[in-house]
Amino acid sequence: MATVQFAHIGMNNLVQTNRVLTVIPPHTRTADRILEVAKGRGQFIDASRGRSHRSILILDDGTVIASFITPMTLLKRFSLDPEDLPTDFRSDDAEELLEFDDEEGQE
């Protein structure tokens, strides 16, 4: 049986990491079209609680999730092994990748 891993996407929301196909930045024509279609199909989840969207997650079943966490931060959270990250994203402290606080985006 395969292990199920979750990643924190902000505001105490988690996503199953193996279901995420891509993470894209918002405010592009493509992202706007994807959001429009997902909302029309009832497959949109706003995990940002009304905050500005910083990333759009697309799942394997067509569900689209908006998060206020940046794509690069999500990349770090999805890659639990620092060796899996590109060299410019590696951290000396692997525990930093597993932090579940919402400091990012709070003002």
Give domain status of residue 86, yes or no: no
Give domain status of residue 73, yes or no: yes
Give domain status of residue 85, yes or no: no
Instruction: From residue 17, give the alpha-carbon distance in Å to each of 4, 29, 50, 67.
Output: 8, 25, 23, 14
**Per residue in 60-85, pLDDT tens?**
999 999 999 998 889 888 875 656 65
> In this model, does residue 99 exceed pLDDT 50?
no
**Per residue in 9-43, pLDDT tens?**
999 999 999 999 999 999 999 999 999 999 999 99
Give domain status of residue 105, yes or no: no
Q: Domain of 73?
A: 6-80
Residue closest to 85 by CA, chosen among 70, 101, 74: 74
Give domain status of residue 97, yes or no: no
Give domain status of residue 38, yes or no: yes
Query: What is the average per-residue pLDDT within 95-106?
Result: 46
Backbone angles phi and psi of 10, in degrees to 5: 105, 155
Give domain status of residue 95, yes or no: no
Give the angle subtended at the CA of 9 by the CAs of 7 and 15, to the nearest 5°: 50
- Structural domains of the chain, count: 1
pTM: 0.73
Give residue 35's pLDDT: 95
Give residue 76's pLDDT: 84
Give domain status of residue 41, yes or no: yes
Give residue 1's pLDDT: 67
